[in-house]
Every structure is written in C-alpha cells, then in structure tokens.
Chain A
Amino acid sequence: DAKTTQPNSMESNEEEPVHLPCNHSTISGTDYIHWYRQLPSQGPEYVIHGLTSNVNNRMASLAIAEDRKSSTLILHRATLRDAAVYYCILNYGGSQGNLIFGKGTKLSVKP
C-alpha cells in the first residue's frame, strides 16, 4: 500500500498562512490525494482532494508537485478553529475507496 509521511506536529500563528507538507513517493497514477482534519472530540472532516492539478475550495488549497510525490495543504489564514490533526491520505484509484489514515500532523495555532 502506498504510504504518506507527514510531520508529527506544526505550529502557526493566528491569521498567518500555514503550509502542511505530505510526502507520498510511492503514489501511483490513479491515487487521489485527500486531506481530512479532526478537531478535538470530533470525527474527521473532509478538507480537500485532488489528483494531478492544484485545487482550491473555501477551506483550503492543495498544491500537488509535478511528479506527484508530494503535496502541500495550504490554509490561507489560520484561525484558532483550525487547530486539529490533519491527515494526508492516498485514496487508491483501484481500491474500494476506504480511507487509510496515517498518524497525521497536529497543528497548533497560537493567538
């Protein structure tokens, strides 16, 4: 199974941009890159996903390297509410679609 590597933790200041990296060097051509986050005492929440091109939505942007071996989740202005564990997941094109979570990155946001 293709795996992802993320830093265990990151810190950010409120209202500053945050770049959360993810390495997935064994990604295959049909693997989508998904990001979910889990706020304290809640279930995971979908953030964004992409295949090859960069993606933007109201929550975040996803920048995918040209070789697809890494990606970066960008929160444009961090708020205290963005403090969560962020999971980068490869959702296999050939699989049944179940999510395989790693340990994620715990993001702390300082006021």
Chain B
Amino acid sequence: GENVEQHPSTLSVQEGDSAVIKCTYSDSASNYFPWYKQELGKRPQLIIDIRSNVGEKKDQRIAVTLNKTAKHFSLHITETQPEDSAVYFCAARTGRRALTFGSGTRLQVQP
C-alpha cells in the first residue's frame, strides 16, 4: 500500500520567515495530495491540495509543489504568522481510495 513520509517532524521559524515541509510517497498511482492543518484539540482542516496533473498551486501565502517523477511534494508558507503555529499533515490518495497521512510536522512561529 501507499506510504507517506514527512519531514521535518518539528520546525521553528521566526515570524515573517518562510517554512517548508516536505513529503514523499511510494505509490506512483497516487493522484491527489492534500495538506491539513491541525490545531491542538481540533479537527484537521484542509488548507490546500494539488492533483497530479498540476505541478504547483498557490493560495495567498500558501503554496504546494509536486514532483511526480521524484514522488515528492512540498508545502511552502511565506510570511509566517504566529497563527500559523500548528501541526501540518500531508496526505496522498489514489482515486477513491482512503487518504494515507504523513506523520505530521509541528510548526512553531516565534513572534
């Protein structure tokens, strides 16, 4: 089955800096790659996603890039703010199959 690895497990940045979280996946048939943000005690919230026919997608300060050849995708957050502090999960999916999640990255934005 699919395996998703996520790095780093923790990331601390200064407010205003950029943050990058990277994930690799194993199943070349995977075609959907969402990113979720989970604040303490709350549900995962979808923040951005990308499909395999697109190499990059941007939404304000958040962007995701996908390299299908290398089977990796990344989340980029620019101009980080304290409210960006949370745990971020990447995931991969093939068709209607279930999402396979990475192990998460705890992002701390220092004011």
A and B associate: no
Q: Which residues of B approach A to under 8 Å, CB–CB?
A: none
